[in-house]
Amino acid sequence: MPELPEVETVRRGLAPAMEGAVIAHAAVNRPDLRWPFPADMAARLTGARVTALRRRSKYILADLDRGETLLIHLGMSGRMTVSGQTVGVFHHAHPAPAKHDHVVLDMDNGARVTFNDARRFGAMDLFASAGGHWLLDDLGPEPLGNAFDEPGLVAALRGRNTPVKAALLDQRVVAGLGNIYVCEALHRAGINPRRKAGRVGPARAAALVPIIRAVLSEAIAAGGSSLRDHRQADGALGYFQHVFNAYGREGAPCPTPDCPGHIRRIVQSGRSTFYCPRCQR
Task: Write the pLDDT tens digit of every residue in 120-149.
Answer: 999 999 999 999 999 999 999 999 999 999
Cα-flanking dihedrals φ and ψ of residue 187, to 5°?
Answer: -65, -45
Report the pLDDT averaged over residues 222-247. 73
Tell me which of 2, 5, 163, 193 is the catalytic residue: 2
Statement to judge: residues 114 and 73 lie in one domain = yes
Q: Quick one: pLDDT at residue 95?
A: 75
Q: Is residue 141 part of a domain?
A: no
| 3 counts as catalytic | yes
pLDDT at 161 over 90: yes
Let me know if 165 is a catalytic residue.
no
Catalytic-role residue among 3, 8, 68, 184: 3
pLDDT at 222 over 90: no
Burial of 197 (0-12, 13-18, 19+ CB in 10 A): buried
228 — pLDDT class (breaks 50, 70, 90):
low
CATH number of the domain bearing residue 209: 1.10.8.50
Q: What is the mean pLDDT of residues 197-219?
A: 97
CATH number at residue 52: 3.20.190.10
> What is the average per-residue pLDDT within 4-33?
95
Where does a domain end: 78, 97, 128? 128
Q: What is the CA radius of gyration of the chain?
A: 20
120 tagged catalytic: no
Strand order in the sheet with 68-73: 50-56, 59-64, 68-73, 123-128
Q: With H, G, I as helix, E, B as strand and everything else as coil, classify residue 162.
A: coil
pTM: 0.90
Computed over every residue of the chain, the mean pLDDT equals 92
> Is the pLDDT at 170 greater than 70, yes or no?
yes
**Which of these is catalytic: 58, 112, 165, 188?**
58
pLDDT at 242: 79
The reported pLDDT for the residue numbered 233 is: 67
16 and 91 both lie in a single domain: yes
Query: In the prediction, which pLDDT does 85 show?
Result: 63
Q: Can you tell me the mean pLDDT for 172-197?
A: 97
Per-residue confidence (pLDDT) for residue 89, from 0 to 100: 41
Q: Name the pLDDT band for 258 (thresholds 50, 70, 90).
A: very high
Has residue 68 got a pLDDT over 60? yes
Same structural domain for residues 121 and 84? Answer: yes
Catalytic residue among 56, 66, 265, 271: 271
In a domain, 169, yes or no: yes
In a domain, 137, yes or no: no
Could you tell me if 112 and 16 lie in one domain? Answer: yes
Per the CB < 8 A criterion, the answer to whether 179 and 166 are in contact is no
> Domain check: are 160 and 120 in the same one?
no
Residue 122 shares a structural domain with residue 155: no
With respect to residue 92, please indicate whether it lies within any of the assigned structural domains: yes
How many structural domains comprise the chain? 2
Task: Specify whether 186 is located in the same domain as 245.
Answer: yes
The gap between the terminal CA atoms of the chain, to the nearest Å, is: 28
Same domain, 30 and 121: yes
Whether 2 shows a pLDDT value over 80: the answer reads yes
Q: Is the predicted pLDDT of residue 281 greater than 80, yes or no? A: yes
Closest CA to 181 of 156, 208, 151, 158: 208
Average pLDDT over residues 182-210: 98
Do 164 and 205 share a domain, yes or no?
A: yes
- Low-confidence winner among 108-122, 147-161, 219-233 (lowest mean pLDDT): 219-233
Q: Give the span between the Cα atoms of 108 and 17, in whole angstroms.
A: 9
Instruction: Tell me which residue range forms the domain holding 181.
Output: 150-275
What does the pLDDT read at residue 76?
Answer: 84
Q: Are residues 158 and 82 in the same domain?
A: no
Would the pLDDT of 90 be above 70? no
Average pLDDT of the residues in 156-183: 97
* Phi, psi dihedral angles at 192 (to 5 degrees): -70, 130
